[in-house]
Amino acid sequence: MYNDILKELTFEYERERNRREKARRRRVDNVYKRIPAIRRIDEEIFRTGLDMSKAIIGNPEGYKEKVEKARETIEALKMEKAYLLTESNIPLEYMDMEYGCEICEDTGYLKNGEKCNCLKQKLVSRAYKMSNLENILEIQNFRNFKIEVFDDKPFDGEDLTPRENMIDIVGISEGFINNFDENNGQNLLFYGTTGLGKTFLCSCIAKSLLDKNKIVIYQTAFTILEILENRRFGKGDKRIGEYQYDLLFESDLLIIDDLGTEVSNTFTNAEIFNIVNTRIINGKKTIISTNLTPKEISDIYTDRIFSRIFDKFLPLKFYGRDLRWE
């Protein structure tokens, strides 16, 4: 599926290049209409260049002098052209190609065949669109994470204060990000009641990995269920549906938010199990966030699913006062 997005983007790059080339030709035509002398200069530059190539091919021994002369002619013609443009208040680069990305000249690739950053960014943006992250990420990132909002007083039944606990969790999350490319089988399970910063932290992790050019999908279990059901019952745009479905498996990181709030049935359970399990087998990482306790999860999802999946996750408990109103 990744390749399909890539193909689509390659096509978009081509369309963009054509659009810009047409715009350039329109600008050139404008200039020719306004200053016919420039058309003649361009034609002469072209002819001189052609003569130069002919000279090189026709007389490999003594072409140097001819080439030197042709170069001088072309330089002089360009000067004349520049003079005419300036005289008419037309910017010198007005007739040149205007690239969206100067680095790859709107091809998406560098000379050595590697992807240009503009293409990488577009690939990630496609994932952004599906992961709904564009807006929240500006606000919810590690820079805006304020540890002081967490209480530093003992909390019933817990060894650490909510703040100490959160410092641990943030540390583990940062380790998760820094070692993301290592095949260490690390997956995270955030659990605890609402309003304790689980979603905020998920956004922080997503943002950090998107900045590293990773494909991150961040969805609620409810939306994932919708994607699964649309696909199962052939609802909605088929191509987009398949794309969304494939990304659940193939994204570098899948964040399933709010697991357990969806109406679960045998089909849902099996499908969610299938996604998470396939990712584990393929060494792809997953974060699950839930308001349920591990006990409640195991009651909803069958024990078989629960134990096989959650063995592979590091459970991190969020506790403290509800922060939503602060």
Between 104 and 224, CB nearer to Zn ion: 104
**Chain residues 118-157 in contact with Zn ion, contact rule CB under 5 A:** 118
Q: Give the nearest distance from C-beta 92 to Zn ion in angstroms.
A: 24
Identify any residues that bridge with 315 across adjacent strands, giving them in sequence order. Answer: 189
Stretch that binds Zn ion, among 99-107, 150-158, 162-170, 232-240 (CB under 5 A): 99-107
Between 104 and 206, CB nearer to Zn ion: 104
End-to-end CA distance of the chain: 42
- DSSP 8-class letter at 292: S
Residue 9 binds to Zn ion (criterion: CB under 5 A): no
Integer-rounded Cα radius of gyration of the chain: 30
Give the sign of the dihedral formed by CA 273, CA 275, CA 278, CA 282.
Answer: negative
**Chain residues 280-299 in contact with Zn ion, contact rule CB under 5 A:** none
Stretch that binds Zn ion, among 7-15, 103-111, 170-178, 277-285 (CB under 5 A): 103-111
Amino acid at 205: I
Q: Give the nearest distance from C-beta 112 to Zn ion in angstroms.
A: 13
Stretch that binds Zn ion, among 9-17, 60-68, 96-104, 285-293 (CB under 5 A): 96-104
Stretch that binds Zn ion, among 38-46, 109-117, 260-268, 274-282 (CB under 5 A): 109-117
What is the layout of strands, in order, in the sheet containing 253-257? Answer: 216-220, 253-257, 285-290, 188-191, 314-317
- The site for Zn ion, by CB under 5 A, has a size of 5
Residue 104 binds to Zn ion (criterion: CB under 5 A): yes
Residue 1 binds to Zn ion (criterion: CB under 5 A): no
The DSSP-derived string for 9-27 is: HHHHHHHHHHHHHHHHHHH
Per the rule left: phi > 0, alpha: psi between -120 and 50, beta: everything else, 258 is left
Can you give the binding site for Zn ion, defined by CB under 5 A?
Answer: 101, 103-104, 116, 118
